Every structure is written in C-alpha cells, then in structure tokens.
Chains A and B, each alone.
Chain A
Amino acid sequence: MGLGLSAIAMLIFGSVVIYGGLAFFLYKAFKSMKKQ
C-alpha cells in the first residue's frame, strides 16, 4: 500500500515547515553567535 496524494502533501508540508523552519532558525542563531 502506498501513500495517497493528500498524505504526501501533508508529509511535504510538515517536513518543509517544521524541519526547514528549524534549520533556518538554528542557522540564524549560529550566525549571530559567530558575530558575537
């Protein structure tokens, strides 16, 4: 059994928003730490 289209959409949405967002804010935090 494979995943339906809506499940794949949810997977992409969750991954991009949560993990992508986390990577972005961590990058910002490290960048400002380096500046200091």
Chain B
Amino acid sequence: MAAVGSAVGLGNVWRFPFVCYDNGGGAFLIPFFVAIFTAGIPLLILEFSVGHWSNTSPPKAFKKINKKHEWFGWLTVLMPFIVATYYVVVMAWCFSYMIYSFDLRWGSSAGSFFTEFIGDTGSPLVLGGISVPILLGLIAVWFTIFFILYKGVKRIGKVVALTVPIPTILLIILTIRGLTLPGAMEGISYYLTPDFSRLGDINVWIAAYAQVFFSFSLAQGIMITYASFLKKKSDITNNAFIIALADAGTSFLAGFTVFSVIGYLTVSQGIGIDKMPISGPGLTFVTYPTAISLLPFAASIFGIMFFIALLTFGIDSAFSMIEPISDGINSKWKISKAKATAILCILGFFISLLFATGGGSHLLEIVDHFISNFGLVAVGLLECLILGWLYSIYKLRAHANETSEIRIGIWWDYLIKYIIPLVLGILLFVSIINNVITNPYPDFPHWLVVTAGFLPLLAITIVAVLLHKTKAKMEVES
C-alpha cells in the first residue's frame, strides 16, 4: 500500500497532464504506453526483487552486490531528494490554493491569477522574492514530512490507507464535471488522437520514458526501500503490476480531467487547443481551479477538498522521496532515523526556497526536465547494466519467482540485459546531444538552461561518490 502511495502522487495529477500537453497530447500516449510495458513494469519487478532480496537500504543493497557499487546506491537515493526539493514547492502551491478555495480567489482568470500568485519574474535569472503563502506552505509541508517519517515506516502504512483512495474519488468527480463542459470533447480528442507523425520525434519518447520513471518512482531507490519492508512471502510480480497499473490508471484519468478543461478554455477563448497561455508546471493550476469554479454547487467546499486531496496525493510521494536517503544514512552512520530525517528536511527546506521564488518556477521546470529526462533515465540505464551484467540477473528472477504466482521467464533477463539498456542508451545519447545543441527553453539563455540542468546532476554524482568513500559503521553480511 505504501508503494502504491509513493507511485501515485503529483506525478500523475500534476506532471503527467502538462508533459502530455507539452508533447502534443495524443502524440505522447503511444510512447507512454510503450514505456510502461518495455521499461516501467520490468524495472519495477527488478527493483522489488533487489529490495526484497537484500532486505536493506539501496546503498547497502548495492554494496551487498559488490562493494564497489555502493556509490550507485547513494546516487539512487540522492535523486529523489533533489526531486523532493521542487516537488514540495508544488505542494506548497496546492496548500495556498486550498486556502484560496474558500472564496475561489482565482475568479474567472485562473491563468493570470497563477502568474501573480507565484510572483513570476519571467526569467530564472531574476529570482525575485517568495510570497508569504508559498513560504508558509513550504514550512507546513516539510514539517508534515518530518512528522510522518520520524517514527518510521509503520506510520506510513496508516497515512496511505487514507491518502490513496480519497483523492482518487475526488478526481473522478472533477473528471465528470470536466467532461460535461462545453468544448470538452475538443480537449479529449487532442488527448486521445494519436499523432503518428510525432512518433519519430525522440524528444517525445524520452519524455514518455522519463514520465514513467518519475511517476513509478523508478531509479530513485524508493521501490528498493519499500520492497525491503515487504513480508517474505509477498508476491513480487503481482505487486509490481498492481502498482504500475494503478499509477498509469491515475495518470490516464487525470488526463481526462485536465484535457476536458483545456478544451473548454480554448473553445471559450476562441484559441487553438495547442495555444494555451500557460503550459508547463503551471498548467494544472489553471485547469483544476477552472473546473472547480464551474461546478454547479458547493464549488468552494469541493475546491478545499480537492486541494487537500492533491496534498495528500503528494505527501506520500514526498516522504517516500526522503525515506530512502534517511534510511541509507541511518544504516551507514547509525544516526537515529529522527535525526537523519530532521537534517534532510532542514536541508531540503533551504534548497526548496530557491524554487519557491518568482523566477524559481522557471528553474523548477528546467531542473525537472533535466533530472527526469536525463538523471532518472541514466540511473535506470546504469541500474540495468550493473544488475544485468555485473550481477547474475537470473538470481533476481529466481528470487522473484520464488514468491510470485505469475512466474517471469528468461525474456525478462534479455529485457534487463539488452533491450532496456539499448533503448535508454540511444534515447539518452540523442536527447543529450539535442539539448546541448538546441535550447529546449528558447525563452532563456542556453548556457543558463544547460548549467541549471546539468549542475544538480553533477553535484549529486559527486556527493554519491563522497558518501561511498566516507568511512562508517556499516557492515554488510557476507
């Protein structure tokens, strides 16, 4: 249940709709489905097997495989920590919108309200200030993460028992409202109609794989950590399929909500479906509030409930991003879980201040683009290479089959060893070249985009190596 909570989060209701919209709607869906079955589910089974077999944190698990690979374990847990620093900012936006729902403060123009709300400076070079509501939201979210985590994983189970089903029900209600709006079918048609001409665009494919990595919490040590808490007889394959399909189902549903409102907005404003004034991370903060305002009754109450739901959707993913590194620090340096979590939350809070500024939202978009498209995909590729080539992959398959009703065949070994690394390798190589040659954000200086994008990746790789080199009280059995 905790793993479902981690996988189903803002990645589905916030990130999937805007990535899908930015990549041409229906043009994105086919690569997305392909990515789920060719990388998402096989890697989920892989990470579950590693976690369940090693029964420990990712750094220790990779050290158990080979002492030289501990750094990679640290890299996997640092990745979600960086993601958390901007993910929490989106949650702080939700926190403010929950309060604004009392009087539906965004009025009839949710787009310009959002721009004013974040204090958009128009450039990541001009950071500007942080608005008080966002700052208060940040404090509240980081404190909640700390509060849930410091007692350990038992508390997580109790939290997600509520935070998974409630938001899903509210999302269904909002989808029904969205679908009954005039013009909704324009949006849905854009969302569902495949654009076969875009299948040759490598950027769409890398975005699809990155979305699956982000949304399934892959290549982030999260699933390894959660699988280490599973019971000995847990069915690994079935768990992996349930998590993957629950996650994909939530994304697919959120797509209907957002695209139906996009259809309504563009038809009512007489603009083309692909010409929304706001795209990127702000998109859902235009579409959801608009749908809420258009509810026939109790819009305020629904708005409050919906943003609480988004917060609860986000909170289990957010603490799952901190849990693996906290667990790693706890097992290496024997620092108490509470102390490790406190240090990480304070550090995370200060980093997240950067993304909470007026220009920070642009920085957020750039860092998210590079971390997901290159960082997560590269870690996924390395994971396949380390576990597929430097470790006996059949042992992990045998471990998964021991407890699973549906047994996986040798095809899975081939996927992990050859097909996934080949696909991810090509996508990564071409995409990096593309991003270095062509500016993915032409509104901003290219040097800034490349620096802001690659710097965090370089920094966490260095930190991972340093954490590996640092002596500690960690002992690996056999």
Residues of A within 8 A of B (CB): 1-4, 6-8, 10-11, 13-15, 17-19, 21-22, 25-26, 28-29, 32
Contact = CB atoms under 8 A, between A and B. Distances in A.
A17 B33 contact: yes
B26 A10 contact: yes
Given A10-B192, A22-B245, A28-B405, 16 more contacts: A1-B185, A1-B189, A3-B185, A4-B189, A4-B193, A6-B26, A7-B193, A10-B26, A11-B192, A14-B29, A19-B245, A21-B245, A25-B241, A26-B242, A28-B406, A29-B238
A2 B185 contact: yes
A10 B185 contact: no
A29 B235 contact: yes
A7 B188 CA distance: 8
A18 B194 contact: no
Given A4-B189, A28-B405, A21 B194 contact: no
Nearest to B192: A7
B189 A18 contact: no
Contact of B252 (A8, A14, A25): A14
Contact of B242 (A11, A13, A22): A22
Nearest to A23: B245
Interface of B: 26, 29, 33, 185-186, 188-189, 192-194, 235, 238-239, 241-242, 245-246, 248-249, 252, 405-406
A17 to B, nearest CB: 7
Contacts of A2: 185
Given A7-B26, A17-B33, A32-B405, A22 B189 contact: no
17 contacts: A3-B188, A3-B193, A6-B192, A7-B26, A7-B193, A10-B29, A10-B192, A10-B194, A14-B252, A19-B249, A21-B245, A22-B242, A22-B249, A25-B238, A25-B241, A29-B239, A32-B405
A10 B34 CA distance: 13
A13 B406 CA distance: 23
Given A10-B26, A21-B241, A28-B238, A3 B189 contact: yes
Nearest to B256: A11
Nearest to B267: A1
A3 B44 CA distance: 34
Q: Is the interface of B mostly helix, strand, loop or mixed?
A: helix
A11 B179 CA distance: 14
A32 B405 CA distance: 9
A29 B33 contact: no
Secondary structure at the A interface, as helix, strand, loop or mixed, is helix
A1 B186 contact: yes
A13 B189 CA distance: 15
Contacts of A22: 242, 245-246, 249
Nearest to B183: A1
Nearest to A10: B192
A23 B110 CA distance: 37
Contact of A25 (B26, B186, B242): B242
B245 A3 contact: no
A14 B242 contact: no
Contacts of B242: 22, 25-26, 29
A6 B241 contact: no
Nearest to A19: B249
Given A14-B252, A32-B235, A7 B189 contact: yes
A26 B406 CA distance: 13
A10 B195 CA distance: 11
Contacts of A13: 33
A6 B423 CA distance: 27
A10 B388 CA distance: 34
Contacts of A19: 245, 249
A26 B244 CA distance: 12
Nearest to A5: B193
Nearest to B196: A6
Nearest to A20: B245
Nearest to A13: B33
A36 to B, nearest CB: 8
